[in-house]
């Protein structure tokens, strides 16, 4: 039997934070979840997730904003965390064109507060959410963590890349073991209403038109939430160490590892789904025909994402096993129970 640990999960009322907290508690760990119930999307969905967590043994919640340094310091003074899984953030690519300040407050100031608290409390492992969006203008597919990622196309992507760089400096300066996970379009029950698969399902069921950007010429490496949680939990036990020194070619440190206790991994499905195939699968799962409206590419978006997950597999044995058909069936079933 594995030792029970005390985890901090930030963003616990969010989509991935909810699933991660529930799974950790089911495995016998203690989870302190924090969230500020940000109104970016319907608060009632966040509250409904928290209601599910209320009855889970080992879970407790504190409503808190990560940009409030005093509150975060007090939280770490009160608890002796073994691991920190940092998922709270202002998510969403398109919203970063409308409200950039929200990304600075949560993703930059908030992240700094988490780093500082981890540093001063000698946290044994910080695992934090990065994003496939950091690949920006890169064209080489599948996306590899060994590639340079210096051309973000949204402030959201820039904030996530900044988090990786900030984490590296803390790993190097203070020996903070930190692992960044670049999530690739996560979907599933209790998901986020701002994401395409979710809004398509809603509109198809309500008989409304759906907008197909870039005339359907897009694809996404869609990753089922249970597979993501499996990856997070496995990586939490793989604490990077400064003895994993990479081989250095021409004196240049590879982007995904370091002489500091720092790693970055892709966490995706490694099987991109074309946008029009996604629509067909939702039509099949709902038993309804979609009404389509074609539109040009949106600013801040990328054409396709595809994760190279060899590194994560080599370190943890992580191998996602949920097909999009199966995953979307689970999602539509949940959606109907929750909303219809
Ligand atoms: N879902 C995806 O496909 C995806 C892809 C790439 C990266 N990510 C990243 O994964 C993480 C989790 O994403 P998600 O899909 O669960 O998003 P989510 O929006 O459902 O969850 C984030 C949670 O953080 C909370 N939050 C936001 N700002 C906060 C603040 N200042 N203080 C405290 N809480 C705050 C929100 O209220 C929300 O409940 C995020 O960091 C996101 O950027 C998600």
Residue of 21, 22, 38 with the most ligand 1 atoms within 8 Å of its CB, for mutation: 38
Give the integer Cα–Cα distance in Å for 32 and 70.
17
CA 76 to each of CA 6, 32, 235: distance values in angstroms, whole numbers, following the listed order: 12, 11, 22
Q: What pLDDT score was predicted for residue 105?
A: 98
Confidence of residue 246 (pLDDT cuts 50, 70, 90): low
DSSP 47-87: HHHHHHHHTSTTEEEEE--TT-HHHHHHHHHH---SEEEE-
Q: How far, rounded to the nearest angstrom, does the alpha carbon of residue 40 sit from its chain's CA centroid?
A: 16
- Residue 251 pLDDT greater than 80, yes or no: no
**Poorest-pLDDT segment among 4-8, 110-114, 195-199, 241-245:** 241-245
> Taking residues 190-199, what's their average pLDDT?
97
The CA 109 to ligand 1 mean position distance, Å, reads 15
* Better-scored residue on pLDDT, 218 or 246: 218
Residue from 197, 201, 203 nearest 225 by CA: 197
In the three-class reduction of DSSP (H, G, I as helix; E, B as strand; rest coil), residue 210 is classed as: strand
Q: Are 147 and 138 in contact (CB under 8 A)?
A: yes
- Which residues belong to the active site? 156
When pLDDT is cut at 50, 70 and 90, the band that residue 242 belongs to is confident
Residue nearest atom 20 of ligand 1, based on CA coordinates: 14
Q: Which whole number is the average pLDDT over 249-276? A: 89
For every residue of 136-197, DSSP letters joined together read TT---SSB-TTS-----SSHHHHHHHHHHHHHHHHHHHH---EEEEEE--EESTT--TTSHH
List all residues whose CB is within 6 A of at least one atom of ligand 1. 11, 13-17, 35-38, 46, 65-67, 87-91, 106, 110, 129, 131, 183, 185-186, 192
- For ligand 1, atom 21, name the residue with the nearest CA: 14
Cut 0.75: pTM above it:
yes
Going by DSSP bridges, is the β-strand pair 209-212/291-294 parallel, antiparallel, or unpaired?
parallel
Are the CB atoms for 175 and 258 separated by under 8 Å? Answer: no
């Amino acid at each position: 039997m594995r030792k029970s640990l005390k985890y901090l999960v930030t963003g616990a009322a969010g989509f991935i934070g909810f699933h991660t907290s529930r799974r950790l508690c089911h495995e016998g760990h203690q989870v302190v979840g924090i969230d500020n119930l940000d109104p970016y999307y319907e608060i009632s969905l966040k509250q409904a997730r928290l209601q599910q967590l209320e009855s889970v043994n080992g879970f407790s919640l504190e409503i808190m904003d990560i940009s409030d340094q005093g509150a975060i310091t007090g939280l770490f003074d009160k608890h002796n965390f073994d691991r920190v899984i940092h998922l709270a953030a202002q998510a969403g690519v398109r919203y970063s064109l409308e409200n950039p300040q929200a990304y600075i407050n949560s993703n930059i100031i908030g992240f700094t507060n988490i780093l500082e608290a981890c540093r001063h409390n000698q946290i044994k492992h910080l695992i934090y959410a990065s994003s496939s969006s950091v690949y920006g203008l890169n064209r080489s597919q599948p996306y590899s963590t060994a590639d340079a990622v210096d051309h973000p196309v949204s402030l959201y992507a820039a904030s996530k890349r900044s988090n990786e760089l900030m984490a590296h400096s803390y790993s190097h300066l203070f020996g903070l073991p930190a692992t960044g996970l670049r999530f690739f379009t996560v979907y599933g029950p209790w998901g986020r209403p701002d994401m395409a698969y979710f809004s398509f399902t809603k509109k198809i069921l309500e008989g409304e038109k759906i907008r197909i950007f870039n005339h359907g010429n897009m694809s996404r490496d869609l990753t089922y939430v249970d597979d993501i949680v499996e990856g997070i939990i496995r990586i939490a036990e793989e604490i990077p160490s400064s003895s994993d020194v990479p081989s250095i070619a021409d004196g240049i440190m590879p982007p995904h590892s370091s002489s500091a206790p720092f790693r970055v991994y892709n966490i995706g499905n490694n099987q991109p789904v074309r946008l029009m195939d996604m629509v067909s699968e939702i039509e099949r799962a709902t038993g309804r025909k979609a009404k389509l409206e074609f539109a040009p590419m949106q600013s801040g978006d990328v054409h396709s994402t595809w994760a190279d997950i060899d590194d994560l597999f080599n370190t943890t044995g992580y191998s996602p096993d949920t097909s999009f058909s199966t995953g979307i069936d689970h999602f539509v079933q949940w959606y109907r129970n929750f909303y219809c």
